[in-house]
Structure 1
Amino acid sequence: MRMQSVKWSRNTAASLAMAVMMGGSSALAIDGKTAGQDAGKSALSRFGSKNAINSNISLPMTNSSNLMQTVNGATSFPATLTAPSSAKFLEVFIQPSGTGDLQQVIVSQDLNTDGTIDNAHTVPALVSGVCANGFISCNAGSWSNCRYYTWAADADGRVSEAPASITDLGGCYCINSSCGSNLVWVNSAIVLKDIGGGIVNAVHTSNTSFTITSVNTDITTITYYGQVTSQTNNAASSVAAFASSPTVSTLTGYYTNWPQLTAARDSAATSQPSDPSSFYYLISNSGAARQAQGKASVCTVDRAGRVDTTVTSFNDSGPGQVCTDHLIYMRVHKVDDLTYRLQYLDTGPGGPGAAHNNCNDNPGGDGWHTYKSVAVSAPDPAKLGKLMSATFNINNMGGPGCSNASASVDGIINGFDTSVQVGMSCPAGGAQWPTFNWSYFFDYKEDQYTESVEDRCATLANDPDCRLKDEEIDSVVTNQNFNPTGLNQLPSCKPFTGQVGTNNICRDWWHKKRTYVCGSQQYDFSDVATRFGQVVSSASDNTANLTFQDPRLGPQGWSVANGSINLPQRDPATECEVACKTRIAKTDTQVTTTGNVTDMRVPAQSYDIFYKTCIDNSCPADPGEEIVIDCQCINEFAEAATVIQTLRLAGKDNICSSGQKQPMQSR
């Protein structure tokens, strides 16, 4: 019999050598084969299906009501992890609409990890854009009348949404038809990850006791498996390593004190590189890690903003003299944003109502004398400016017939046009002429925003030997596995605070993270192909042995050696795996827009069809199942092709990937 294929390698040679040695003792080979088959059947009976793994491994490890069992089922024992866990800690379901918006987002939660969903929240708005910490809701299929929301959770972890502004959101991108066609279906894994990540972050913010242990996704659902660390059992008595690890309170404290986590990481990284038994050492020095060096390079492009404050001061001072009958008042009068006047008012004993008594120097207008005018520079429209101080001082006022006093007024603190009494009085009869020293100090500050772009990817981007593999822009995945996702980040804003105030700066992007793959290793397989081709073409299976010709390339060129391998006894093999076909009647209660399914189907009766592998030439039908085809080689290709074609045409009828309705097509 001519062999169909032979992969000639060192591993193949080793396997054949092992077969020769095993062939020398057929009794041992048969005993080993029988033992292996028995062990395999035993293991498959307990772990050979998804449901069996869930029942016999996952549930016993995460739920104390289920016990772990040995492979033969003879012994049961508790095997739960150190904290209680739920089959579904949190699940997010999305349903896209024809406009590309998510018409439904349903969040289901098991708040107390008892295995039962006890909180279901339906988002009461369309989701038109997805953000790292919330979402954007606009008119269907458009980017108008948009509203902004952040994910929130109460102390128990119940999820909700809270109104927000665009500046509260980050990592946003559009998913509806105004930005592209079929974006959710093409990128459902990314959309689910970003929505679920924002919700989980909100839950963690409200209660750091929740811990995520696993995540599963399908096209419309993301499911998180988790534990409550506040209920963790102390395993230090049974696991020595656990006693030296950080306590649970420390671990949950990392969430609100991330610099502490960074310090712990750095400490571990410093202590473990020299420890051959540490995970850090084993991973960083593994063959895979060394082999990967230089192949993939990660770089970033960052937009860095800063605020610089400049101060401009206006000041002057000098001596002065005024006329007053009894009292002096002072103020800073604001004419406009650029012009200010330092003013005083002289009065008699009755106060401001007796202005200019005996001095006869009424200046007109509101009666205040202007001693000095101050003009500040026009503000720069590119800067955020503000007058921070506007102080007018009168010192050492006094003279014959008057007491001595000093006073100060600040238009910013006291208010412009607010009068302050100097505190000096001139009780002598008639007008007096006290002297004083005056000064003023105006402080004008301006915040100027500047930014720079630090591109650490320029070298890789300009290298023709490098290709862009992955890219995230402000946490939005724009490139994945060498292909664009079609998702584009939305502009976002950041606050930059200076001495004057806060500037909200909006840009198209702030941070880009890229992975480039550089270089390509060229391998010459021509010699291998020559050897492989002759080994395969010359191989001859005589049942008892395998003969072949093996070309070898040496210093003097090619030489051909004849080889022969003794083959062990082989079991008879059937042409196919014997199977049976069964069916069981079912009642279909589905309802469509045209009515109940049973009203439309002729005949109304329907069945679930099963194909099962026969055991000892017997069909393992369950109670209620009818055997349609008994154990034999079954060929149901025509029926399978019909089902697949039906599903394909049904999909054509329901999903318009172009966004436009089209007639159903057969191809």
Structure 2
Amino acid sequence: MVYQAVRNFTITNVDITGTEIKYYGQESTSMGDTTGVYFSGTASPQQYYGGGGGTLPGDAELLNQAGDPNSMYSQLNVLSSNIGNQYTTKQCSIKRQVSLTPHMEMVGYDVSFYVGYDADGSSKECFWATNTGNCRDVWAYGNGWGACENLNLVHLGKIIHSIVATGSCIPYTDPVSGGSGCYSPPGTIDVHSYEFVQRTNSGTSPGCYGSNNDSSHQFWHIRAFTVDNIDQYTLTTQGNLIIGVKDNPGASTTGSCAALDLTDCTMLEETVCDHNDAACVHTYRNYNPTGLAPLGSCQQVPSPNTGLTWTFCADGSNLTYQQGSQSGVLESGTDVWWNIHRTYSCETNNVYDFTNAQQRSGHIQDSLSDNGATLTFQDFNPDTGATTNNSISLPPREDVERCEKSCIVKIPVQDTQASLTRTTADYRASVNTHKEILRACENGVCPVNAGEVLVKDCKCTNYFNQAATTLQLVHDAGRDMICSGSPP
């Protein structure tokens, strides 16, 4: 009824006295925010009724701390699991490195020759000739000068085949190793691309097949390539041969984790670092994953072979490379990072044995002696049975009192106690009296002020018996004051 009357109040307590019922409450809008304080309850208790799936505040806090390896719960849980066991730690690391291996291959040919067309002749031959003017193949008749140029490009592989001595061994020098070699061109030359080094009109020369009165002749110097992606190569020309050097990217993994015996071991800590072994992130700590994942990192590697710069990246799943249009994956899997450092906690299955330590300490204790200036003892090696004599110089000893001396002094005080009936003055002629106090002596002298009386001079005193007796009297007095029907 009260709640129906004032809905913005929350009842906090009820007190019943006789015929009166008192309600205590607080205005709901002024109540404090208890979010995150697990012992203050929840703002939505209805979730626990009617088959609700809510989590009690204590359970929610437990789940929260269980996911944090640095929380008190996680650390105590690990500690309780390790009690009674003998453990040792093992450390290892994983390092990934990239490399660029030079690869040499024949990538094309460097050739020079003439092309021509008998424009005003009756047969109108389209032909080519060597750079010395020797007339060679006729490709077509009467197709025109422009078509003749294109036709020579179509037959470029055959022209090169005729210029270069196919089947024979052409000597060359390896630009990578510096060694010598011999290359035999194939019987068929497949041209993938080409570039003109020189393309000039040669007038009426060489004048093959009656074309000596025509100006439809050109001298061509061409570099023809037999591979794709020629921009990935560093080129060297040796005679008619074009030698290319390119980079082959690779990766290697080194470290001690692969060979580590991890029997009965649990990962204690793991850090993941970039290629410089910096910017490290703790992915494991106190036997638990931290939930942190490092960002992928890349490194730029210039090639000493080609002068090109390669980009290598590791993101935990892949180790990739890229240079221009060339890209690929060197490694895939899990934990594909540049540097990983791990620490394991491993059970040694050994029982703690303090026998040797007890023998050594006992021998030292038995042989220990002190002459005031030197401390001598004999050390013992339980493994070999050998003993060694040792001595330690002691600092000068001070003459120190064996106790802090004290004295008893009687000092004047006024007794002005009052009760429900009367004061002290009503029972005594004077309120002036004395009491005894214990004082610490200063340089062997008891400090006594004016009006005070020395009762006991400075000495080593022991008031334990007196204190024990006083406490017992207080205890007995308390028992006498209990009002009960039977003895306590």
TM-score (norm 1): 0.23
TM-score (norm 2): 0.30
From the two aligned structures, give the one with the greater helix fraction: 1
